[in-house]
Amino acid sequence: MALDLMVQEVDELVQEVQVLEAVNQRWAEGEAAGDRAPWSVLGRSDAVHRVLLEAPEGRATNAQILQRLQEVGRTDDTSNYVAAALAHLRDKGLVRQTGRGAWVLRSDDDEDPDEEEATAPASAGYGFDEEPF
């Protein structure tokens, strides 16, 4: 009796291994063909970045990004999560905001906001006689 259960368990494991090998093979073939990773394995920031990469002219609103994420099966993403991912991507210098809730991929032509701050006159934002500290 115990031997029959063990044989059945081994058979199930063999079938599981075959399924996993088939999935691995499809994944390898997809990578060889240049396919991207499935949406489900991407981190949230990577998924949001990918939406912008695929968007016309690299532009999209928060709502459009969320809609696309839901279309590809990422139903756990919320508008707050999208906003946080966009802020993270902005901080990394990958995107910039063009208006209320409107985002675009940064290009090489975009000015670096850090450079802009570095070249601002020392008196910027202060009165003529006022010292910053």
Give the CA-trace dihedral at 83, 118, 124, 106, to 10 degrees: -30
Q: Is the pLDDT of residue 82 over 80?
A: yes
| pLDDT tens-digit map of 23-33 | 666 665 554 44
Query: Is the CATH code 1.10.10.10 the one for domain 42-107?
Result: yes
Distances (CA, A) of 45 to 15, 34, 122: 36, 21, 36
Q: Is the pLDDT of residue 129 over 70?
A: no
Asked if 96 and 110 touch (Cβ cutoff 8 Å), the reply is: yes
Asked if 94 and 46 touch (Cβ cutoff 8 Å), the reply is: no
Output the pTM of the full model: 0.58
Which pLDDT band holds residue 65 (cuts at 50, 70, 90)? Answer: very high
Per-domain residue ranges of the chain: 42-107
Pairing verdict, β 59-61 and 102-105: antiparallel
Give Cα 4 to chain centroid, integer Å: 48
Greater pLDDT, 131 or 7: 7
Greater pLDDT, 127 or 80: 80
- Which residues, at least 6 apart from 13, have a Cβ–Cβ distance to it below 8 Å? none
| pLDDT tens-digit map of 37-56 | 788 888 999 999 999 999 98
